[in-house]
Amino acid sequence: DGGITQSPKYLFRKEGQNVTLSCEQNLNHDAMYWYRQDPGQGLRLIYYSQIVNDFQKGDIAEGYSVSREKKESFPLTVTSAQKNPTAFYLCASSLNRVAHSNQPQHFGDGTRLSIL
Amino acid sequence: AQTVTQSQPEMSVQEAETVTLSCTYDTSESDYYLFWYKQPPSRQMILVIRQEAYKQQNATENRFSVNFQKAAKSFSLKISDSQLGDAAMYFCAYRTAYNAGNMLTFGGGTRLMVKP
């Protein structure tokens, strides 16, 4: 079955350490996204990528970095510059790169990141 | 920038009854898409229903329907014959139709509790 796989499900980070969250999709989607969700709140966009080797900052990109070397993969690195990284991280993808399309985003199961 | 507001942090409904979740949004655009996503305790985001702004007819998906009032910038979700499995966080989301980025702007969410 096609879908989005995020790993690990739970991740712990020490102070001053970078960690990378994995996101892989086999839906042949062009666009991929990373969101952050804090307890009791909605999703905020960190980064997005519309095509391979291209990505743009979202609303809260500071302290995060991404790469898009393959269509299927969009890893997110939480750097030591992110002072409050404890949150739930969701990866999503969508089919269209064309405006005026109602294609929804499909989501992975998320990664919960905690600080030790 | 667009904003999405869900004014009800929590709602409860008796099993088999009907409940309506509110969503308002602010935009200067005339063409856009609106979505309702469900996030159960498993934290996966599941698409419930979508609406194109250019369509006057309200979208329906089985027990789920929307009341889309474009002039009032309102997009409420009605759940009929509520079931225990409907208990979840519900997020309203907005997407512009004017670029290919397909980025979503989410509301803060409404937690729906279903009483047996």
Task: Name residues 6-45 of chain B within 8 A of A (Cβ).
Answer: 9, 31, 33, 35, 42-45
- Residue B44's Cβ-side half-sphere holds a number of Cα atoms within 13 Å equal to 12
As a 3-state breakdown, chain A gives helix, strand, coil percent values, each rounded to 5, of 0, 50, 50
Test A105 with B104 for CB contact under 8 angstroms. yes
Per-residue pLDDT of chain B (116 residues; tens, 9 = 90+): 789 999 999 999 999 999 999 999 999 988 899 999 999 988 889 999 999 998 889 999 999 999 999 999 999 999 999 999 999 999 999 998 876 567 889 999 999 999 99
CB contact under 8 A, B99 and A99: yes
Query: For residue B44, which residues of chain A lie inside 8 Å, CB to CB?
Result: 107-110
Diameter of chain A measured on Cα atoms:
45
Residue B42: what pLDDT?
86
Residue of A4, A43, A59, A91 best to disrupt the B interface, most CBs of B under 10 A: A43
Chain B residues whose beta carbon lies within 8 Å of the beta carbon of residue A106? 47
Task: Tell me the three state secondary structure of residue A88.
Answer: strand
pLDDT mean over A7-32: 92
For A10, residues 6+ apart whose C-beta sits below 8 A from its C-beta are A111, A112, A114
The pLDDT score that the predictor gives to residue A96 is 63
Residue B8: list chain A partners with CB under 8 A: none
Res B12: pLDDT: 97
Chain A residue whose CA is closest to B31: A100
Give the pLDDT score at A83: 84
Q: How far is A16 from chain B (nearest CA, A)?
A: 28
| pLDDT tens readout for residues A59-99 | 999 999 999 999 999 999 999 888 889 999 999 998 865 55
Say whether residue A55 is in contact with chain B using an 8 A CB cutoff: no
pLDDT score for A97: 56
Q: Which of A41, A92, A97 sits opposite B100 (nearest CB)?
A: A97
Asked if B29 and B98 count as a contact pair (C-beta separation under 8 A), the reply is yes
